[in-house]
Structure 1
Amino acid sequence: MNILDKIVLRKKEEVASAKQQISIATLENTPAFNLKPYVFADFLLDPNRSGIIAEFKRKSPSKGLINGDVSVKEVTMQYNAAGASALSVLTDRDFFGGSADDLKIARSSNNIPVLRKDFIVDEYQILEAKAWGADIILLIAAILTPQQIVTHGALAKGLGLSVLLEVHNDEELQRSLCPYIDAIGVNNRNLTNFTVDIRTSFNLAEKIPNDFLKISESAISNPQTIKELKEVGFQGFLIGENFMKSENPGKAMQEFVAHCSALQD
């Protein structure tokens, strides 16, 4: 059993437990459930923003503890100030050290879209995301059938959420495209063994229809890479570990964005 299989198995157990503790009616009656979400595309395409989806991530299965000493409120506000187009917040506890509270704090502290970064295997998690204040959900093609992507995407869009579909290869891309997706994220990290290869994004760039926002995820640590990804059509860049491994993630992003701007001048 690889890492992804273990995560999915645990996630199904978590969802079953959550359903026993908090009913759908309770989720639907939370104050955040009736808030109008921010529109991902509006911020990602804003020329005054960086295109970076800045991620708050304490740990990962491949790296272990990345940064356990920082505040989600402080870091996400610094990301926002540095020009993030959106925030990505891990809500998986067992493998990534995240929580629902992290997302709620990020949402209440910022005025840009927040992505619930998790492994969605059940529609209940989409309702959770809405109740916690998320604006964007992540659907991972590797763990969902094409029909599940349609069903989950339709539910999310009905709630006003933006949908980011994550793919790792052309086969996942072609079988997963549907009208309920706003953005295609190419994950340069192989989720079965957590190795990374930035060439994954370059290989898939032209295969993603222009109807969708194009996002490159993971393995981005050099401003020159952003420049090259933009040249092949990518509009968004999910970066977490590169910032989180520093003592001051917000400052690390600020310096990174400054270097990106210098390359474009």
Structure 2
Amino acid sequence: MLDSLVAGALADASERRAIRSLADVESAALARPAALDALAQLAPSDRVKIIAEVKRSSPSRGALAEIPDPAALALAYETGGASVISVLTEGRKFGGSLADLEAVRAAVSLPVLRKDFVAEPYQVFEARAAGADLVLLIVAALETPLLTELYDLINQLGMTALVETHTADELDRAIDLGAQLVGVNARNLSTFELDQNLFGTLADRIPAGVIRVAESAVKTPADVAHYRAAGADVVLIGEALVTGDPVATLTEFLGS
């Protein structure tokens, strides 16, 4: 599944590049105001931080929510106390787009994450050109030389990489990279199976000073509390927010 998602994302990026050249996108990225400081926004505190996701659908669950106005949803997330807004920009399986990210960026004052299957520099420049402050890098999808290249480019553009892992080996690669924001995804992107305890088994491998993000398998405040007790500084939540009242749900989760 992961290989298919990456291949599709690269094919779609190739189509966009045929319309808008790398040089044009790079120029637009460099002309953007400085990216917001996501690390400061997500720094550990006495309560959990939440990355709230604009997510219409997923390969595992199908359609979740129509979200006709991503900007309005993002504003609700900001009102509800989210620290960062994540926007799915993958179109084939998640129903997202860069237009969603641009709309969200224009509406909120929080840092915005481009969540996609990023596997080439063009997509990183696209992210900054659209206003992203963070870019997701999935270690399982990238060989080390490419992972390093993309990580360095994200930093050069003033953004922050959320480096996502699923295994101890991937976590070691993220740490070797120097990542300051490391995610552990409970969902195996090859099988789409969930293991909510995975974060707890890997958290101690994450060095002090690195922000720990727990991803997936969150439905209730108890799930957020579970991750918090296991050492999560931040929890990334999508489905539970788009399928309910976002402000009320965030308020409950932040009280966990």
TM-score over 0.5 (shorter chain): yes
Report the secondary structure of 2:236's partner residue. Answer: strand
Choose which of 214, 217, 238 in structure 1 pairs with 2:215. 217
- Give the secondary-structure state (helix, strand or coil) at the position aligned to 1:176: helix
Residue of structure 2 equivalent to 1:250: 247
TM-aligned CA distance change 1:65 to 1:169, over 3 Å: same
Instruction: Say whether 1:92 aligns with 2:64.
Output: no
Q: When the two structures are superposed, what TM-score results if normalisation uses the length of structure 2?
A: 0.93
**Within 5 A, what are the aligned runs for 1:140-219?**
140-219=138-217
Q: Please state how far the C-alpha of 1:148 moved relative to its aligned partner.
A: 1.3
Answer whether contact 1:54 1:79 (CA < 8 A) is retained: yes
| Aligned residue type for 2:116 | D
* Residue number in structure 1 paired with 2:63: 65
2:111 to 110, 113, 133: 113
Q: Which runs of 5 or more residues in structure 1 are unaligned?
A: 261-265
The DSSP-based 3-state class of the residue aligned with 2:173 is: helix
Query: Which residue identity lines up with residue 252 of structure 1 in the other structure?
Result: T
Write the deviation string for residues 177-197 of structure 1: whole angstroms up to 9, x where unpaired: 344522110000111121211
Q: Shift of residue 50 of structure 1?
A: 5.0
Give the TM-score taking structure 1 as reference length.
0.90
Aligned residues: 256
Q: Is the 8 A contact 1:27 1:33 kept in 2?
A: no
Q: Displacement, 1:18? A: 2.0
- Aligned match of 1:130: 128
Shift of 1:229: 2.5
Whether the aligned pair in 2 keeps the contact of 1:150 and 1:178 (CA below 8 Å) is no
With over 3 angstroms needed to count, the CA separation of the structure-2 counterparts of 1:46 and 1:200, relative to structure 1, is closer
Matched with 1:263 is: none
* Residue equivalent to 1:45: 43
> Do the aligned partners of 2:174 and 2:182 also contact (CA within 8 Å) in 1?
no
Paired with 1:226 and 1:173, the residues of 2 have a C-alpha distance of 21
In structure 2, the residue corresponding to 1:177 is in which secondary structure? helix
User: Which AA in structure 1 matches 2:78?
Assistant: N
| 4+ residue segments displaced more than 3 Å | 46-50
- Tell me the equivalent position of 2:22: 24
Point out where structure 2 has 5 or more consecutive residues left out of the alignment: none
Contact 2:175–2:206 (Cα < 8 Å) also in 1: no
Whole-angstrom distance in 2 between the partners of 1:70 and 1:250: 17
Summarize the Cα distance change of 1:148–1:177 in structure 2 as closer, same or farther, 3 Å threshold: farther
Give % identity. Answer: 34
Measure the CA separation in 1 of the matches of 2:29 and 2:173: 36
Partners of 1:5 and 1:103 in 2: CA distance: 24
Contact 1:40 1:113 in 2 (8 A): yes
| CA distance in 1: counterparts of 2:53 and 2:145, whole angstroms | 29
